[in-house]
Structure 1
Amino acid sequence: MRLRIFTEPQQGATYETQLAVAKATEDLGFEAFFRSDHYLRMGGGNGLPGPTDSWVTLAGLARETSRVRLGTLMSAATFRHPGPLAISVAQVDRMSNGRVEFGFGAGWFEPEHAAYGIPFPASARERFDRYEEQLDVITGLWATPVGETFRYEGRHYRFGEGPALPKPQQAPRPPVLIGGTGRIRTPRLAAAHADEYNVAFASIEDTAAAFDRVRSAVKAAGRADAMTYSAVQVVCCGRDEAEVEHRAAAIGRAPEELRRNGLAGSPAEIVEKLGRFTEIGAERMYLQVLDLSDLDHLELLASQVSRQLQ
């Protein structure tokens, strides 16, 4: 089990705060620093100083880190046209010397679209239709050999003889992550396009069922290359119960609720639950860290949890 740090900067985080967390993630030996792609806070927090764009942020972090992998969970297909998005991700991959991973989803949080004037297709079917075409386009642009052109005729997107540049640093492309627990379309899209399939904030039982659906889709597609399976869970670790309670209060949650719905408690408790995710096939765990000012939390996770998994 490999551990990655996952942040939600829309809840309120400057670039400098994210940089501090990314550098701590790297220095403490975690595999990757990921962030959400949202423009509006959800639930608690004041959201100040306002949202930061995920790919602008990752471009900065690409130049200020050297080892840790960088990515999104998940960039929304509703936010950007696939052509410019393919350019942005490829450029950040080059800026990082090949450390980018592209988490990509259909988009779902309608209020943030209204808040920033972003069109939001009313039907989930249309959003997924657009998302599927974007997956075809972005991976197609990256896969087009240098010197050849890319053409695409879809229902929602059309490309005419484009140069399909720039290319990412990683060949043939940065890893593509697809998530969600849809029963039919999501497994099919993951089998066709994803290097990694991710399930967020689900129970062990529901995560196992989702993994099995994707495994079946991978087999049905006759796919030869392996799929990586991963999960996201909120984390709240403490050396004793008082520290667990303090960290839970800082993010507006209760320890027992976090124990039921995430990874919470002592290092031993968290290692035990991670072991249960390992048993169902999870190879990576994204630890959702919500208090970005608490770098001691990351140190504790690195020294008392991560080391026990190695």
Structure 2
Amino acid sequence: MDLRIFTEPQQGASYDTLLSVAKATEDLGFDAFYRSDHYLVMGDSDGLPGPTDAWITLAGLARETSRIRLGTLMTAATFRLPGPLAIQVAQVDAMSGGRIELGLGSGWYGEEHSAYGIPFPREKFGRLEEQLEIITGLWGTPVGEKFQFEGTHYQLKDSPALPKPAQPKVPVLIGGLGKVRTPRLAARFADEFNIPFASLDDTRAQFARVRAAAEEHGRSADELVYSNALVACVGKDDAEVARRAAAIGREVEELKENGLAGSPAEVVDKIGRFAEAGTSRIYFQILDLGDLDHLELIAREVGTQLS
């Protein structure tokens, strides 16, 4: 089981805070550091000191880490044009020595678009599909050849399709619980399919849809990595679990039902049940970024039992 750290910096985190978490992620043996791509706080937090840009953050971390994978859950297709995004990701991949992964979604949070003057089109899924075609097409075009694209939302003519990523192929993540279009999109473009904050039953059902769509598309379903992102709240005893739950404004029992919460043994057991459902990678959503002892506990008491 791959274990990764997933952060939500829009809730309030500076670059220096994210750097501390990323370095702890690397030092403690986790597989990857991921972050959300949002520009507006959610809920009651004041969000101070304000948002950080996902790809600027990852560019910095690319130069200040050496082993861990780095990526987004998920970059919003509404935030960036596909050509510049392909350039950004390829450049950051080169800066990291080939450790970047791209999670790309349609975008959903209307308020952050209006807060920062970002267009929020009604038809988002079609734009996402075209962005995936363009980004993977640009990266896959042989050096010296030109890339063309004529779509409903985007048109590219005589693109040199440069630069190329350092990796032969940047892994692409697609996720969500859409029952028809999302599995089909994953079958065409995804190296990994991620389900955020879902139950075991929903996980089993959605993985089955994606596996079926992959086979229909002519791919082996086992070509894809299947993963879950779940909020983490782990403690060495009940008091520590309760303290960590209170720090993120959540209730222990709700977290145990919907996330990865409780003692290390409880969390290991629940991850085992996700493994039985087909999960091979877990993203621990860490909401209190100042609590690096939390990461150390997960690494020492959970990670060592799942390696």
Which residue of the partner structure matches residue 11 of structure 1?
11
Do structure 1's residue 2 and structure 2's residue 11 form an aligned pair? no
Do structure 1's residue 183 and structure 2's residue 168 form an aligned pair? no
CA contact (8 A) 1:11 1:44 kept: no
CA contact (8 A) 1:187 1:214 kept: yes
Match 1:231 to one of 220, 228, 232? 228
Which residue of the partner structure matches residue 84 of structure 2?
84
Shift of 1:222: 1.0
* Distance in 1, Cα, partners of 2:45 & 2:203: 28
Letter in 2 for 1:295: L
| TM-score normalised according to structure 1 size | 0.98
54-63 or 225-234, larger mean C-alpha shift: 225-234
Which residue of the partner structure matches residue 195 of structure 1?
191
Do structure 1's residue 294 and structure 2's residue 291 form an aligned pair? yes
Letter in 1 for 2:46: N
4+ residue runs over 2 A deviation: none
The secondary structure found in structure 2 opposite 1:282 is coil
Q: CA offsets per residue over residues 141-198 of structure 1, 9 Å max, x none? A: 0000111111100011000001000000000x21000000101100000000000000
| TM-score normalised according to structure 2 size | 0.99
Which residue of the partner structure matches residue 264 of structure 1?
261
Shift of 1:44: 3.2
**Identical aligned pairs, as a percentage?**
68
Which residue of the partner structure matches residue 214 of structure 1?
210
Which residue of the partner structure matches residue 113 of structure 2?
113
Match 1:174 to one of 145, 148, 170? 170
Letter in 1 for 2:70: L
The secondary structure found in structure 1 opposite 2:57 is helix
Do structure 1's residue 95 and structure 2's residue 92 form an aligned pair? no
Gaps of 5+ in 2: none
Shift of 1:300: 0.1
Which residue of the partner structure matches residue 158 of structure 1?
155
The secondary structure found in structure 1 opposite 2:79 is coil
* Distance in 1, Cα, partners of 2:263 & 2:196: 22
Shift of 1:233: 0.4
* Distance in 2, Cα, partners of 1:298 & 1:130: 37
* Distance in 2, Cα, partners of 1:27 & 1:275: 25
254-263 or 10-19, larger mean C-alpha shift: 254-263
Matches within 5 A, 1:1-150: 1-122=1-122, 126-150=123-147
* Distance in 2, Cα, partners of 1:45 & 1:61: 25
CA contact (8 A) 1:133 1:156 kept: yes
Shift of 1:93: 0.3
CA contact (8 A) 1:3 1:30 kept: yes
How many residue pairs align between the two structures?
306
Query: What RMSD over aligned residues (CA atoms) do the two structures have, in Å?
Result: 0.7
